[in-house]
């Protein structure tokens, strides 16, 4: 329904826009919610009603496009000169794409050596002014805050209030696609904006009587960068899940409230648990997400084992980004023998063990 409309138009009544707001759209939103077929059984929980929200199918390959369409549209409306963001990769890819469509200059500060290859390629090709910073994401965000005001740059990180407003539309879609709110939502946590945005969205739909209930919100940090779980910022966060390698989440308070109000939890998963979930999604469901995204499923598996989750619950895992962004992690995880084989049927028969 209305799937050809820009996301902002589709949900205009719930967003801070007017008919005069100049909409910058790349065809974002309306992503598939796909029911799991094999995983519940494979995990030993066949009664589970499990679905995946495939946010990697947004135009730049992540959920960031939902917030960026609004942030950039509002920047154009406010006659901004240029935009800036710090990013672990996906925000920069999204900002660069929407800014270029709007005709705005886009500056991005990336933690040098810690951004997945595809995200870097995107930001560069979309034409952003890419700076590899000698520092991690948290330092990059500090630099953005220091530079923005006096240089008249509009910040499009999630500290820009329009970002989370746009991102809450994902919760609207989940409710529409399931025909109800799920019992539980499992989601990765980095800067803690997305879990906050989903919670806003679910609450909004309940208040608008478009849903009877709200889900318990379960958010997962990577163990090596789990500031919220530890209760203090981490100066040197580490994880293979580079998108959520963040030691001082900007939306900490709102995310903590989301977990508390919904009777959910902010927890952590190890890199090994993340990589196992990442491989399971590909192997059992034909879903290639990025490692950080698999923190949602890793968290679900952890809490199924802990017995937190009702066995026949309706559960949605948010898969925030596309696996194609980070092919290196996939190839390092599964070493395939790719030495050339002669184009000879009998030789092939032998290799294929037919």
- Site for ligand AN7, rule CB under 6 A: 62, 87-91, 188-194, 243-244, 290, 292-293, 320-321
Q: Would you give the end-to-end CA distance of the chain in angstroms?
A: 47
- Taking the least distance from each CB to ligand AN7, the nearer of 212 and 261 is 261
- Taking the least distance from each CB to ligand AN7, the nearer of 62 and 73 is 62
Measured CA distances, 275 to 54, 200, 287, 329 (Å)? 18, 30, 14, 9
- Taking the least distance from each CB to ligand AN7, the nearer of 64 and 216 is 64
Q: Which residues partner with 340 through β-bridges?
A: none
Closest CB 319 distance from ligand AN7, rounded Å: 8
Closest CB 55 distance from ligand AN7, rounded Å: 8
Could you tell me the two tokens for 36? Answer: 């799991």
Beta-carbon contacts of 125 under 8 Å, excluding residues fewer than 6 positions away, are: none
- Taking the least distance from each CB to ligand AN7, the nearer of 201 and 321 is 321
Q: Strand 49-54: give its sheet, edge to edge.
A: 33-35, 49-54, 314-319, 184-188, 216-222, 265-269
125: enclosing H helix or E strand: helix 117-125
Rounded distance between C-alpha atoms, residue 247 and residue 57, angstroms: 27
Closest CB 51 distance from ligand AN7, rounded Å: 18
Helix 117-125 to helix 90-102 angle (10° resolution) is 10
- C-alpha closest to that of 108 among 81, 140, 150, 145: 140
Contact 56, 293 (CB under 8 A): yes
Closest CB 275 distance from ligand AN7, rounded Å: 15
- Taking the least distance from each CB to ligand AN7, the nearer of 73 and 251 is 251
Closest CB 248 distance from ligand AN7, rounded Å: 12
Could you tell me the two tokens for 140? Answer: 């990059």
- Taking the least distance from each CB to ligand AN7, the nearer of 64 and 74 is 64
Closest CB 27 distance from ligand AN7, rounded Å: 19
């Amino acid at each position: 329904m209305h799937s050809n409309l820009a996301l902002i138009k589709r949900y205009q009544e719930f967003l801070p826009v007017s008919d005069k707001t100049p909409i910058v759209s790349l065809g974002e939103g309306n992503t598939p919610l796909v029911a799991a077929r094999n995983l519940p059984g494979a995990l030993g929980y066949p009664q589970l009603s499990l679905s995946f929200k495939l946010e990697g199918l947004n135009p730049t390959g992540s959920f960031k496009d939902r917030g960026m369409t609004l942030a950039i549209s509002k920047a154009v409306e406010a006659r901004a000169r240029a935009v800036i963001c710090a990013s672990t990769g996906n925000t920069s890819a999204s900002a660069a794409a929407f800014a270029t469509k709007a005709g705005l200059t886009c500056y991005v500060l990336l933690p040098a050596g810690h951004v997945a290859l595809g995200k870097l390629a995107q930001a560069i090709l979309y034409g952003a002014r890419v700076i590899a910073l000698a520092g991690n994401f948290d330092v990059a965000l500090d630099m953005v805050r220091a530079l923005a005001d006096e240089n008249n740059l509009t910040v499009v990180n999630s500290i820009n209030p329009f970002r989370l407003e746009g991102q809450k539309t994902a919760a609207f879609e989940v409710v529409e696609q399931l025909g109800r709110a799920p019992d539980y939502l499992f989601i990765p946590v980095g800067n803690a904006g997305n879990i906050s945005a989903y919670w806003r969205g679910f609450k909004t739909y309940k208040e608008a009587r478009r849903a009877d209930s709200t889900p318990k919100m379960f958010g997962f940090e990577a163990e090596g960068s789990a500031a919220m779980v530890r209760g203090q910022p981490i100066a040197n966060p580490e994880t293979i899940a580079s998108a959520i390698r963040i030691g001082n989440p900007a939306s900490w308070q709102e995310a903590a409230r989301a977990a508390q109000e919904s009777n959910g939890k902010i927890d952590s998963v190890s890199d090994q648990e993340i990589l196992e979930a990442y491989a399971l999604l590909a192997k059992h469901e034909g879903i290639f997400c990025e490692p950080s995204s698999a923190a949602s499923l890793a968290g679900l598996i952890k809490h199924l084992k802990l017995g937190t989750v009702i066995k026949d619950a309706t559960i949605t895992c948010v898969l925030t980004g596309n696996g194609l962004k980070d092919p290196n992690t996939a190839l390092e995880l599964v070493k395939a023998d790719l030495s050339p084989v002669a184009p000879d049927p009998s030789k092939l028969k032998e290799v294929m063990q037919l």
